[in-house]
Chain A
Amino acid sequence: MKLLRLVVKNLRRRPMRTLLTVGGVACAMLMLVLVQSLGAGLDAALSGSEAARTLIVYRLNRYCPQTSFLPEWYGPRIEQLAGVTSVLPVKVYLNNCRASLDIVPFNGVPAERLAGSRKFDVLDGDYGRFLAERDAALVGRSFAERKNLAVGDQFRFGGINVKVAGIFGSSEPVEEGTVVTHLEYLQRAVAVNRLGTVTQFEVKIDDPARAKEISAQIDDLFRTAPEPTDTRPRILFLEHATRDLREILRFAELLGLACVAVVLALVANTVAMSVQERVREFGVFRTLGFHARHVAALVIGEALVLALSGGALGLGAALAVIRFSSLTIGAEGVPVSFSTQPELIVRGFAIALATGLIAGLAPAIRSSRSEIVASLRSA
């Protein structure tokens, strides 16, 4: 449309002002999208379909894999309980237990028990090779993408050297962010030799309704042992592990709202200034036969172009940051990835659109309502 061309030309009249506004909108949008994508990632981490029928057995009063040590012999004892279908001992090793942006979580498991306990599909590579080679690893899809790994690659992290034998996809987003190795290999690779201990047991039960009851039974088994346990459904375990992160995120979402307010003020200010300079011009347009709504469209159009181009820039920057910086936040050993769902992009644009409309509305109404003669008289 011709009016749009005029809008763009007007924005180029003051390139610096336009650039600053678009840049400001982009920064705010970057913040907003990052916060939202982390929120979406957190939701995804808690959404695994197996979460309800999986129990996590952890060392009582420990919240970090570095400090939770349970004897492997707990496994067979748990397996004997009625309602338990499988038990998978897991040694979790990671670089950092605090909130970290680049977490690398290893899960060491007895390879022969893996297929019977976890649901996953080997998307690429060879499961047989993983079983056969003691330093082989199965890498979760999102971790492989994040670290740009392919089957056959070797990689080393924190003194642990592994070969990628396969890449797997899973219904559990959290598991897709991990590296699965042989249990004994991981136990031996870590500096402090903790052979015979694992971080946690993953217990599958046949009836989710009995989760509480079986959890209590497991904890009763080891109540008087030197290493007492704390068992809870995986969903509660994840919620507990990510509670700090969710708290921070709630605050960050407030900051996100503030960002929207900043965008609104920024765009509104720029449009108000630009309109003030052109009162007379609008009078001329009206004299030529343009309607009040044409003038309103020019002003709204300016606000929309500012908000949408800034929004697109910020959104693009956010997607680039998420893609290329391979951020994953660890919350007590649970990897939470930034999630870039299409809804997120749609929502970003919707927010930009709405702020543009709102910011442009008042100046648009004012400009289109002013008297032609009065406009022509203005400087």
Chain B
Amino acid sequence: MGFIELRDVTKTYRKGEHVVTPLDRVSLDIEAGEFCVLLGPSGSGKTTLMNLVAAIDRADSGELRVGGTELTKLSASALADWRARTVGYIFQQSNLVPVLTAYENVELPLWLQPLSRAERHARVSLALAAVGLSDRAEHLPKQLSGGQEQRVAIARAIVADPPLLVADEPTGNLDHDSAEGVLSLLERLNRERGKTILMVTHDPRAAERGTRHFRLDKGVLAEGAEARR
């Protein structure tokens, strides 16, 4: 049994008469510990797929099992708890809370857990150290560079130690060097900590880092060599 299993998942958007079907009976199996890269043209439904896997959106039909949990059967609040335990979402923009320091932003997901202040402190310090930003803990997002912001966002995604990381064009807004830093970080999290990673990218160099490659186009998912074209 895979870590992520999609069976005939369909997602349709209706805008008046106009119907878009970014995911048309998509099936997918990913094992724990894989670093999967999702490619595809703009508007092909990559973000839509990520959102379903991260349980912030619901499929119209099909089965969706992640980490042994059938997501289509859970209530909204059960999904919220599940997300807090299972997924770290890394967006294209860092999406940090502007009024909170780097430390406090990373601490956010831990508010949902029954941890003492000292335990939270230990975990936040560890996460900030993992992304190499221990010395920026007290900075506000606006006092950080784009690359640093994105690394804080990664720290926030891993601080609760979820098994799955979902990254939607995590380097899309970054310069080359910052992008390298972020990608190496993800690679290390995958290798050293066994995180399962699902990453969307348009950048072929970023795609190199993955262990498996998928391509989404016109609602259909393809895998393997042709995906990397």
Contacts and interface: CB of A to CB of B under 8 A. Distances in A.
A44 to B, nearest CB: 47
Interface string B94-106: 0101111000000
Contact of A12 (B57, B89, B99): B99
A10 B82 CA distance: 27
A287 B56 contact: yes
B37 to A, nearest CB: 21
B76 interface: yes
Given A372-B56, A373-B56, A373-B57, A290 B80 contact: yes
A97 to B, nearest CB: 58
Contact of B100 (A9, A371, A376): A9
B99 A10 contact: yes
Contacts of A280: 95
A13 interface: yes
Contact of A287 (B83, B98, B100, B112): B83
Looking at B82, B89, B99, B112, which has the most chain A CB atoms within 10 Å of its CB? B99
B94 to A, nearest CB: 10
Given A281-B97, A284-B97, A289 B57 contact: no
A192 interface: no
Contact of A286 (B80, B91, B98, B156): B80
A287 B97 contact: no
Given A288-B89, A288-B108, 13 more contacts: A6-B99, A6-B100, A286-B56, A287-B54, A287-B56, A288-B156, A289-B81, A289-B84, A290-B80, A290-B112, A291-B77, A373-B57, A376-B95
Nearest to A292: B76
A156 interface: no
B51 A289 contact: no
Given A289-B84, A289-B112, A376-B91, A13 B98 contact: yes
Contact of A284 (B81, B95, B99): B95
Nearest to B113: A289
B80 A291 contact: yes
B25 interface: no
Contacts of B83: 287-289
B109 interface: yes
Query: How many B residues are at the interface, by size bracket?
Result: 20 to 34
Interface of B: 51, 54, 56-57, 76-77, 80-85, 89, 91, 95, 97-100, 108-109, 111-112, 156, 160
Contacts of A285: 108
B99 A13 contact: yes
Interface string A59-79: 000000000000000000000
A366 to B, nearest CB: 16
Contacts of A10: 99
A13 B76 CA distance: 30
Contacts of A372: 56-57
A287 B89 CA distance: 7
A-B complex: 5 closest residue pairs judged by Cβ atoms: A289-B84, A9-B99, A372-B56, A289-B83, A373-B57
A6 B160 CA distance: 20
A1 to B, nearest CB: 10
Nearest to A373: B57
Contacts of A290: 80, 84, 112
Contacts of A288: 83-84, 89, 108-109, 112, 156
Contacts of A3: 111
A145 to B, nearest CB: 46
Contacts of A371: 57
Contacts of A13: 98-99
Nearest to B57: A373
8 contacts: A9-B99, A10-B99, A287-B83, A287-B89, A289-B82, A292-B77, A372-B56, A376-B56
Interface in A6-21: 6, 9-10, 12-13
